Structure 1
């Protein structure tokens, strides 16, 4: 057996004899690791934590009675239908949606490296630093795709369906995938918190993007939550403006008639005045009712507007999140040592096999 011919002491003795070779190979890997650690792009991570509004008191009260009411043959669903909540579970889907990402990509941020304001899309297309691995892949495995992209002509789509559908090109789709990796939304149902984190190559830029993502997420959720109330308020505002004009006309018409017939007293005048008064009263009644409904609708919009409490604001980091250069250098050095030891051990086994033959 091979294991019987080679003892542990012999292995150590052979490795000691080949220590210079092992040190040389390990040194080469140390240099590679050092260069790799130097060339790897610094990345900074910023995190913000919010507590969203998940329910209101009325929903809780009605929810407690719903089972009893259903047993008695009553349906309380209509009482809670106007108080829909946006589950925090859909927050990552919102941030990852095409409309959200396209809006974020067109938002301008200050980028300290070039000391000017750029869109997030321009950052990905022109200014984002490329890592060593990304560059190697691009000009090795990615050469065929580069050639194909160069040969292809730009095709601009001017389809009338653009009004109804969002059409994105290949470059934007690539950027969207990168954005999904750079901005992450995590939900902790147990604690009831939402964590938004972003990772980019500049601390200030990262903080700006993460904070804007939080603002946009709150805006999207708020818009969804108050959509029905806003539609109702808009309708009432239109009716209010229309009725206000009619009310003022009826009021002016009645006042003019009374001024002109101040000293005239006959049945015809009284009948006409009563007619104008009735028209005025009717319009005033409807106008007052709409005005009251409008005020109630405004209150409803405020009540339906969700509240977000920021318990951890965005803070510009002073320490990079990656890379851990010491770990990279040590990992490469250890890898070199293991490879060199493996080579020497393989040679010992090979020599032992030859001796057996």
Structure 2
């Protein structure tokens, strides 16, 4: 049996095939963990910088586009001024003495009842923002008269929005670009929904704009709701939980109007809080005043009846006359006792009304802003350049892959 000797040409072709095959490197399993360490994965920053430099035109175009957009927004946005105020509400009841606390705690057990009364409810400061943003509050606030430059005299916020305010080029750009889908959805929705005229056909007494029925149901038209929504967006009420400060801020395109509207917000909020907290005490005061009038009338009638009886019976010679005299005197004393008690209760209620009246300390009163709050042009330009840089880098490193992916999706 003889071994076959390969032909030289055959061995030569086999060596060519081996050289054309890719080299395969085998990693021992025990060294796999060492090979997967982060040290083996390095980033070639020189190559990255070289790629950015070669395709720098993409980066420059992206920065230029976003910088131009930022400059357009910074220049053509409506200048806004923000007026703010800081308040400390003092709406809690006065602290009770130790005797009052003991009487309130053990009064029912001792059979003397609750002599100290029940503390009236108060509005917590965390609900101030909810009150300000409520529709009844906004309905009252929209009629505030404001001062604007280049406008003679004062006008209401509603008058300003309907007759003087105009959309800036930036607002128009947002409406017909980013806000175009929402604009189309609202337009289509308005076609298939009933308007105010259709509502008034079914409820003729509602014709003539906003009304308020006897059950305090506020009805507003769509235009009025849009105005109120715009007014809400200009007001901000926040509470600092740590120190209890209430921060009130109003943004308007005029500094004087911003300060006047913020002052109206603060004063109307004080009025709402005061009315709510004193509502029960005022009802008690009205009831006590009516009771005083009735008890005073009864006392005067009893006193007049006793005087008339004494005038007619100067000499009480009979037992019947003496009994009648005692009865009239008892009625007079009873009427006087009721009148005296009600009078004392009335004075206590008046004192309670003053004690429970909430107060607000103005740490920082409403001020007229001297500088505009928006647009912040330097910050806007910096953000535009940063976004343009990031977008340009994404375009450099992932532009081709993204384009291939889009083409592949189109073929599918």
TM-score range relative to shorter protein: 0.7 to 0.9
Q: 2:372 is matched with which residue?
A: 320
- Partners of 1:31 and 1:114 lie apart in 2 by 34
My pick for the range that moved more, 77-86 or 109-118, is 77-86
Q: 2:406 is matched with which residue?
A: none
- Partners of 1:277 and 1:95 lie apart in 2 by 58
Conserved 8 A contact 2:100-2:116 = no
Structure (1 or 2) with the larger CA radius of gyration: 2
Give the aligned length. Answer: 339
My pick for the range that moved more, 48-57 or 269-278, is 269-278
| Per-residue deviation, 1:137 | 4.3
| Partner of residue 301 from structure 1, selected from 353, 376, 383 | 353
Q: 1:176 is matched with which residue?
A: 228
- Partners of 2:241 and 2:99 lie apart in 1 by 23
Conserved 8 A contact 2:237-2:246 = yes
Q: 1:103 is matched with which residue?
A: 140
- Match runs of 1:85-100 below 5 Å: 85-100=122-137
Q: 1:163 is matched with which residue?
A: 214
> What is the TM-score of this pair, normalised by structure 2?
0.66
| Per-residue deviation, 1:191 | 0.7
- Partners of 1:205 and 1:50 lie apart in 2 by 20
Conserved 8 A contact 1:51-1:308 = yes
- Partners of 1:9 and 1:209 lie apart in 2 by 55
- Partners of 1:246 and 1:73 lie apart in 2 by 34
Q: 1:51 is matched with which residue?
A: 88
| Per-residue deviation, 1:188 | 1.3
My pick for the range that moved more, 34-43 or 101-110, is 101-110
> What is the TM-score of this pair, normalised by structure 1?
0.75
Conserved 8 A contact 2:73-2:170 = no
Conserved 8 A contact 1:129-1:201 = no
Matched, 1:213 2:250: no
Residues 62, 324 of structure 1: alpha-carbon distance in 2 compared, 3 angstrom cutoff? farther
With a CA cutoff of 8 Å and minimum separation of 6, indicate the structure with the bigger relative contact order: 1
- Partners of 2:97 and 2:375 lie apart in 1 by 48
Aligned-pair Cα RMSD in Å: 4.2
- Partners of 2:384 and 2:252 lie apart in 1 by 25
| Partner of residue 267 from structure 1, selected from 312, 317, 321 | 317
| Per-residue deviation, 1:96 | 1.8
- Match runs of 1:183-222 below 5 Å: 183-222=235-274
Conserved 8 A contact 1:48-1:310 = yes
- Partners of 1:148 and 1:303 lie apart in 2 by 53
My pick for the range that moved more, 109-118 or 321-330, is 109-118
Q: 1:230 is matched with which residue?
A: 282
5+ long unaligned stretches in structure 2: 1-42, 403-412
